[in-house]
Homo-oligomer: A and B are copies of this chain.
Amino acid sequence: MLSQTTLPIASTTSTVRDPEVRGLLSLTLPGSVTFYPVDSVIYGQGDTAGPLYLVEFGTVRICRMTSDGRRQITSFCYAGDVFGLEDGDEHQSYAESVDGAGIRLLRPTDSAAFAQKLLGLALRRFARVQKHVLLLGRLNANEKMATFLIDLMERQDADGIINLPMQRNDIADYLGLTFETVSRVLRVLKDKQIIRLLSVEKIEVLDTEALAGLCE
């Protein structure tokens, strides 16, 4: 969609804290940070895979499409997350910036220690996606939403206020719902006094217990 621009400033050192990711950084040749505007493509389905990407700020969605245009978002990546790791030499998913994201390219050095790190990364991602499988296959709309919100809370370690950088349609395509259903489910949670909608993209969790109770 729109073209990205390389940030001229503050691009040499990452601000990421996660020790796992920092370990990875030390074994790669990190590039500078590139800014991807809203909805711009980071890599496309079929593109050559290889380098990894580190989210410095903003949000990224990893997606797949059916041939008739239905979209499934397989994951959202937030600041500190690494993505782009794939089987084979072609990307089977595509990645887009959700809200304007700063992405650092990590060029893999071909060392054994690096592979070890990658394995840890892959396993963590794998554990995540398996939880997603359970969510998609066996939870109802309320449970999906509650699980999503709890996950966001943990990732943002926000005490109370959750930020929704993505729009309703993205949430729907992540949870296997329609955007109307997402809207309605939020209303249900609101009516139950579990959350409060501060704005379209800000949610206050009033009753974390109740929200967690819905996850199952």
Contact = CB atoms under 8 A, between A and B. Distances in A.
Copies of the chain in the assembly: 2
Contacts of A64: 130-131, 133-134
A70 B138 contact: yes
A10 to B, nearest CB: 32
Question: Chain A binding site: helix, strand, loop or mixed by DSSP?
Answer: helix
A29 interface: no
Given A93-B130, A116-B115, A138 B66 contact: yes
Interface in A105-136: 112-113, 115-116, 118-120, 122-127, 129-134, 136
Interface residues on A, range: 35 or more
Interface of A: 64, 66-68, 70-72, 74, 85-88, 92-93, 112-113, 115-116, 118-120, 122-127, 129-134, 136-139, 173, 175-176, 216
